[in-house]
Amino acid sequence: VTYEGTNQVKDSKINMLDRQYEMFSMKENENISSMFVRFTNIINSLQSLNKCYTNKEAKDLNTLPLEELLGSLMTHEMTIKNHEDDEEQHKKKKKVIAFKSSTADSNEEDSDDE
C-alpha cells in the first residue's frame, strides 16, 4: 500500500499509463532513442502495476524483435540525418556571389574637380 497506493490510486495510475500507451507517438524533433526511452518507461511502469500488454502476433514470422526494430529505426534516422547534412553542404557550395562593377571615366572625374 505504501509503494503502490490504495486500489483506487493503483487503478488511476494504470488508467493514466494505459492512455499514454494508447496515444503514444513520436514527438516532433525527437530522436528514436528518446522516443524508445519514453515508451520503455510507460511499459515498465505498467508492468510494475501488474498490467501487461501482450503481442498476439508474436508467432507471426514477419514480426521483428523489439531490439531489431529499434536498431533498424536508429540506422534509418542516421541515414536521413547524413543525407540532410550532405544536401546542406551541397547548397552551401552552390552559392555564388556576384559583385557589380563600374568603370569611371577619368575625364569625368577631372571635370568634377574643376
Assign 78 to helix, strand or coil.
Answer: helix
Domain-located, residue 8 = yes
Domain-located, residue 24 = yes
If one counts the domains in the chain, the total is: 1
Which of 63, 60, 49 is CA-nearest to residue 20? 49
Assign 108 to helix, strand or coil.
Answer: helix
The CA distance from 56 to 52, in Å, is 12
Domain-located, residue 14 = yes
The CA distance from 95 to 30, in Å, is 31
Expressed as residue numbers, the domain containing 30 is 1-52
pLDDT value of residue 58:
47
Domain-located, residue 69 = no
pLDDT value of residue 2:
63
Domain-located, residue 16 = yes
C-alpha cell at 30: 525527437
Residue 18 CA: distances (Å) to CA of 10, 11, 23, 58, 97: 12, 10, 9, 21, 57
pLDDT value of residue 90:
77
The CA distance from 29 to 102, in Å, is 48
Domain-located, residue 44 = yes
Please calculate the CA angle 13-26-31 and round it to the nearest 5 degrees.
120
Low-confidence ranges of the chain (pLDDT < 50): 57-59, 61
Is residue 31 within 8 Å of residue 67, measured between CB atoms?
no
pLDDT value of residue 3:
61
